[in-house]
Every structure is written in structure tokens, then in C-alpha cells.
């Protein structure tokens, strides 16, 4: 019970500090939130499917990868980080599959968390796939008026 209570408190603090202008970071809270989610799923699977030989920690790792892949759109670098954390190359295909699915689902619904934050703060951001009318623009026009 203490583990779940501390994770809820950690999640609440991560939500509060994300919008502030302090260097709080979102990578470590993302790992903690995702691993908590994965661990809860792992506890459910281990409890109801006892014949499977999978540990809850594997679900925690995959949950952290899915949360970061879906919210921050990190794929290749996150895959390397997760493999380095575990030092187990056997988990590489699972991590790659989880990252592929979470990024695809995230891209289907919205932009990444950093792009959304830049948009909310009014910071001009170049898109990876520009619209047709932006092909002949100059940088001053793309940034908008008043700058």
C-alpha cells in the first residue's frame, strides 16, 4: 500500500511541476509513472494467470517504455536506454514492439508532450512535415508578427 501511495503522490507532484518554469524534468517522473502502471498490470496478470513464467518487473519495464514512447515520442534512444538499464538483450524485441505501438497510438491522437508545451507557451516550432503553404515561406513569416 505504501508503494501505491508514494506513486500517487509522485504523479501529483509531476503534474504540478510540469507547467512551472523550473528545471524539474519529465523523464524520471515518466519512468516512475509508466513503471507503476506496468507493475499494476503485471500484478493482475501474475495473479490471474499463474501458469505464465513472467515477472512483474518485466511489465514495469515495458510500462515505463510505453509511457515514455507514447507521451514523449522517444523511440530509438529510449530503446537503447531500456536495454542498458536491464542489460538483457532478450527483452529488445518486446521493448521495440511496445515502443512502436505506443508511438503509433500517440501519433494518432495528438503531438508529443514537448510539442504541446511549446504550443501552449506560444513558442514557434517547425513541424517535421510542413504544410503546403509553408514551403515558400521565409523564417520571419513563419514566426508570426510582432517579433
Write out pLDDT tens, residues 24-79.
Answer: 677 778 888 888 889 888 888 888 887 777 788 889 999 999 988 888 888 888 88
Long-range pairs, 120-127, Cβ under 8 A, ≥24: none
Predicted confidence (pLDDT) at residue 146 exceeds the cutoff of 60 = no
DSSP class of residue 26?
Answer: S
User: For residues 53 and 61, what is the distance between their CA atoms, to the nearest angstrom?
Assistant: 16
The alpha carbon of residue 57 and the mean position of all alpha carbons in its chain are separated, in whole angstroms, by: 18
Q: What is the pLDDT of residue 94?
A: 92
User: For residues 101 and 39, what is the distance between their CA atoms, to the nearest angstrom?
Assistant: 19
Predicted confidence (pLDDT) at residue 2 exceeds the cutoff of 60 = no
The answer to whether the predicted template modeling score (pTM) of the entire model surpasses 0.75 is no
> For the chain, where are the alpha helices, taking DSSP H only?
2-18, 27-48, 56-71, 76-86, 92-109, 113-121, 139-143
User: For residues 71 and 39, what is the distance between their CA atoms, to the nearest angstrom?
Assistant: 18
Write out pLDDT tens, residues 103-131.
Answer: 999 888 888 877 887 888 888 777 777 77
**Alpha carbon separation from 44 to 5, 83, 101, 128, 143 (Å, rounded):** 18, 24, 21, 39, 49
User: For residues 125 and 108, what is the distance between their CA atoms, to the nearest angstrom?
Assistant: 20
Amino acid at each position: 500500500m505504501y508503494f501505491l501511495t508514494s506513486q500517487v503522490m509522485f504523479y501529483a507532484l509531476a503534474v504540478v511541476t510540469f507547467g512551472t518554469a523550473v528545471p524539474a524534468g519529465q523523464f524520471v517522473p515518466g519512468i516512475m509513472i509508466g513503471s507503476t502502471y506496468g507493475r499494476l498490470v503485471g500484478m493482475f496478470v501474475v495473479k490471474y494467470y499463474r501458469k505464465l513464467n513472467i515477472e512483474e518487473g518485466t511489465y514495469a519495464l515495458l510500462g515505463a517504455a510505453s509511457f515514455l514512447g507514447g507521451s514523449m515520442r522517444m523511440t530509438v534512444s529510449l530503446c537503447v536506454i531500456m536495454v542498458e538499464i536491464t542489460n538483457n538483450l532478450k527483452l529488445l524485441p518486446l521493448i521495440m514492439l511496445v515502443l512502436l505501438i505506443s508511438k503509433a497510438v500517440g501519433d494518432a491522437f495528438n503531438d508529443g508532450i514537448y510539442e504541446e508545451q511549446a504550443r501552449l507557451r506560444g513558442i514557434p516550432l517547425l513541424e517535421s512535415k510542413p504544410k503546403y503553404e509553408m514551403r515558400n515561406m521565409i523564417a520571419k513569416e513563419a514566426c508570426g508578427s510582432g517579433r
